[in-house]
Amino acid sequence: MSRDALQQSIQTLKVKRDNLVKELEAVELDLRNQQAAYSSLLNEESLIYRLPAEIITSVFLICQHWRTVSRPSSRRRTASVWFPIIASHVSRKWRQLALGTPLLWNVIDLPVYLPPDIHDQHIMDRVRAHLERSGECFLDITLEFRSGAGTKPTRLLELLKDNSNRWRRLSVVTPIDFVADFRVMLQDANAPSLEHLSLHFGKPQEPTLSPRKRLENVTASILQIHSSPLTFVRLAGLALGNLHPPMAGVTTLHLDGWTRHYGSYGQFRAILEAASSLVNLSLNELCIHHPRDPLAIIQPTSLPYLQSLRIRGSSTPVSFLLSLLDTRKLRHLSLHNIDSFSSGILATVETLQLDSCALNEQDIAHLIQSLPAIFHLTVDEAMPDIFFMLLPDWTDGDTAAVNASLGKPLPWPNLRTLALRELQPSDVPLLFQMISLRQEYSKLGCGCSLGKVTLDRRSRTVLRTKQRLMTLQEQIKVENVDDPEAWPPGLGYNDVHDLLE
């Protein structure tokens, strides 16, 4: 065969090969389509697909809710949080149902990596998918910026701002100083439905260092163009003193001052006066300076609706903070990481939570004297003297009846429930002695006996090891409560950034 004939034959074979490959690809495509159709028919016959679409989407929404609220930490994202994506990859029908359920996509909760890398476009695409698939639903947005500095998230902020009319909750956590960028985003944002605003900016500083910089501006500087029904505001770090919204309708306010800043008495008073509807107030490591004028008269700010107060840290003495507040209707008081206590009489406080408070006997005595109406007490291992201080004023030679006849006082006579966390083995004997004596006083009509004790896992383990758990259960109602008490009580949803370090 000549060279030209061979060349022509080779070309013919190549064409034939290409046609066969195309035919094979077409056959494989038909095969995959028919296999998918067959699998779809099989799926339709399964029990779960016999459920109405409404029930399946309701299950999706429940899974979405629990996958979100049960995550171990807001700073550790796992794929399990992104339930809509997982559900949409199971089958064709599930994908159709997931994509057609806007409430599965109205939560935008994601980490943002800086400087931009391969994740940047992925984040933008994901946000756009959430915005498109959520339809006209309200948006619950959480942004946590991670690593890097000097890169501005301009594209992301502009995209979110374009949909600000749908914001319901907006939470931002960043170790980077993005105050100016978010001021541009928030100062003229149209957010008529925004209810929850949480802003964490900057890194916590060494707590032993004295604050050096005064808060800049505590008046409203964002979200002023259109009124919004804000009821929850958290200003933490650099956001405090820089990004204050109008707070006339705010009922829950968190002020976290864990950077090296301080506020004056006048600034603190201005913040509280702007939030005259407060029901819940949290002050975390807030440093407030006394007025420079020694003759200045400090008047408590009127907060007629304040019912729950939490103070964390010793940056400002508790006595000074309490003197700045109108606490006439205060019912719940939480103290965290407090090393001393003194106050006037707070006769309306019924619930007291003590967390990591290393108070000595004198401070505990002031606590008992200042809060005479305590009904519920939460305490952890940091206060081993609390059980001794709750004993009646008795001596070894006295019986309970003699003590009562002599009129010796019973500390916190209205105490009915006790929540124990991290109970230590050395505290078990005093705990039982306190419970028994209070029961004896109750029989004599000299106060209330404890009606219920709640125990976390550690406390149950200690009592079980000491072989006292069953004894306690025979004496009093015992409940297992492993999760810390949420603050404020009755918020209605999970606040994953509470006291975020």
pLDDT score at 36: 82
DSSP state of 427: G
**Is the pLDDT assigned to residue 131 strictly greater than 60?**
yes
Q: What is the pLDDT of residue 148?
A: 56
Residue 132 confidence (pLDDT): 94
pLDDT for res 371: 94
Q: What is the pLDDT of residues 171-223, one digit of tens each?
A: 999 887 788 889 999 988 889 999 999 999 987 666 556 667 888 888 888 98
Picking from 303, 309, 351, the residue whose alpha carbon sits closest to that of residue 328 is: 303
Q: 458: how many CB neighbours lie within 10 A of its CB?
A: 16
pLDDT band at 439 (very low <50, low <70, confident <90, very high): confident
Q: How many helices (H) and strands (E) does the chain have?
A: 15, 17
**Residue 354: how many CB atoms within 10 A of its CB?**
22
155 — pLDDT class (breaks 50, 70, 90)? confident
| Inter-residue contact 64 to 107 (CB < 8 Å) | yes
Apex 16 CA angle, 12 and 21, nearest 5: 150
pLDDT top residue among 66 and 282 = 282
- Is the confidence at residue 76, as pLDDT, over 80? no
Torsion (CA) 18, 20, 23, 27 in degrees, nearest 10 = -130
More confident residue, 76 or 413: 413
Residues 6+ apart with CB under 8 A from 447: 410, 413, 414, 438, 441
For range 383-402, the mean pLDDT: 67
Give DSSP secondary structure letters for 81-137.
G-HHHHHHTT-HHHHHHHHT-GGGSSEEEEEEESS--HHHHHHHHHHHHHHHHTTT-
Instruction: Give a three-class secondary structure readout of 31-64.
Output: HHHHHHHHHHHHHHHCCHHHCCHHHHHHHHHHHH
Average pLDDT over residues 273-291: 91
- For 396-414, letters b (16+ CB in 10 Å) and e give eeeebeebbeeebebbbbe
Per-residue pLDDT at 113 exceeds 80: no
In this prediction, residue 277 has a pLDDT band, given cuts at 50, 70 and 90, of very high
Q: For residue 204, is the peptide bond before it cis, meaning its omega torsion is within 30 degrees of 0? A: no
Whether 263 shows a pLDDT value over 80: the answer reads: yes
Q: Mean pLDDT, the chain, as a whole number?
A: 85
Closest CA to 150 of 175, 171, 127: 175
**Residue in 364, 336, 368 with CA at minimum distance from that of residue 349:** 368
Mean pLDDT value across residues 331-341: 93
- The pLDDT of residue 501 is 58
327 pLDDT tier (thresholds 50, 70, 90) = confident
* Mean of pLDDT values over 110-128: 74
Which residue is associated with the tokens 């958290």?
234
Contacts with 484 (C-beta within 8 Å, 6 or more apart), sequence order = 421
Three-state DSSP class for 439?
helix
The pLDDT score that the predictor gives to residue 406 is 47
Which range is least confidently modeled, 159-163, 202-206, 305-309?
202-206
Which pLDDT does position 47 carry in this prediction? 78
Position 395 pLDDT exceeds 50: no
Backbone angles phi, psi at 239, to 5 degrees: -70, -30
* Residue 28 burial (C-beta neighbours within 10 Å; 0-12, 13-18, 19+): exposed
Task: Evaluate if residue 7 carries a pLDDT over 90.
Answer: no
**144-153 pLDDT, tens per residue?**
887 654 567 8
pTM of the model: 0.85
